[in-house]
Amino acid sequence: MKFDAALAPLPLKDVPETAIAAERLGFSAIWTQETQHDPFLPHALIAEHTERLISGTGIAVSFGRSPTTLAYTAWDLAAQSRGRFILGLGTQVKAHIERRFGMAWPDSVVGKLREQILVMRALWNTWQTGVPLNFRGEYYKITLMTPFFNPGEISHPEIPIYIAGVNQGLARLAGECCEGFHAHPFHTPSYLKEVILPAISESAQKHERSREDVTLAVSVFAATNEFEREFCRQQVAFYASTPSYRPVLEHHGWAETGEKLSGLAAHGQWGEMPALISDQMLSEFCIEAENSHDLGVELKRRYQSLADRLSLYIPFVPGERDSFWSDLLQNFQAVESN
């Protein structure tokens, strides 16, 4: 099991320092998110300033972009990093796609994301081998690639694609045709074990693949003090108010709480929402520990049979809690070796 870092939403000038520090501490990979900044630009700097650190988007919003644009960007970053870049994609939710990106929401989320993936791989195959480009699907018709627009072959053309999701549909798509699945931090170990992993495994087997072909990367809520505990409670309440994430609550019999949270969110009553997340609920979504040593032990206990890659929801920032991160990584790796 690998331990990764999440990159904070930083100005680009601060990315090299963060990447160098992450590699020095021993993180296996570092992930960017699409929140306040472009998720791709940091990876050119990460690749330039590190030797071993893997980097990936965790995630970039796929439905806000053309698959051709995604293919070019990933191709350049794979070349720049000498094969250390992972393309992580997420669909976002309908309101953001329509009202923040100004794009159409598809009739089939899984269907459109599948086609985006297939288009990118068709483009990469054309660039690497010269095979004529001829993709025709329900959402995309991509058939034109002249030499002027062909970037040519690279030394590491096999670019891993991870997709992110909460529910079974996208988990099945990962099993069908992806190298990895980003599990949303709004999860429980029970939900991963009983819902997500079976969906991945069954779909992989159906398409003559195996569970081991799909890396499960999990972001985890964690708290070692009261402030972090209440922050996690707020985040759980926020995510639990999203109707499309309701199956996680239903799995535990908490659907009624989700409906109440959605009602509060609809009226902008954000301050009242965390009180609906009981300590029992919080303990399912968040790992609570007294210190970094205990946190490393508990992370291993909860996820050793579930996850292939772990990261904390807390971003890594050099100069902030350096001893915490150093101790956590050392203890986690020590537990791994026992």
Question: What pLDDT digit, counting tens, does each position of 286-308 carry?
Answer: 999 999 989 999 999 999 999 99
Radius of gyration of the chain (CA): 20
Question: What is residue 263's predicted lDDT score, i.e. its pLDDT?
Answer: 97
Inside any domain, residue 304: yes
What's 298's domain CATH number? 3.20.20.30
**Distance, CA of 283 to CA of 238 (rounded, Å):** 16
Label residue 145 left, alpha or beta by phi (over 0 means left) and psi (-120 to 50 means alpha).
Answer: beta
pLDDT average, residue stretch 164-182: 97
pTM above 0.85, yes or no: yes
Inside any domain, residue 31: yes
pLDDT exceeds 90 at position 2: yes
For 239-248, write each residue's pLDDT tens digit.
Answer: 999 998 999 9
For 59-76, write each residue's pLDDT tens digit.
Answer: 999 999 999 999 999 999
Question: What is residue 335's predicted lDDT score, i.e. its pLDDT?
Answer: 66
Q: Which residues of 178-192 are buried (b: 16+ CB within 10 A; e: fewer)?
A: bbbbbbbbbbbbebb
pLDDT average, residue stretch 318-333: 92
Inside any domain, residue 53: yes
Inside any domain, residue 124: yes
How many domains, in total, are found in the chain?
A: 1
What percentage of the chain carries pLDDT values higher than 70?
99
Q: Which domain holds residue 51?
A: 2-224+287-332
Neighbours of 23 (CB within 10 A): 19
Inside any domain, residue 270: no
Neighbours of 100 (CB within 10 A): 12
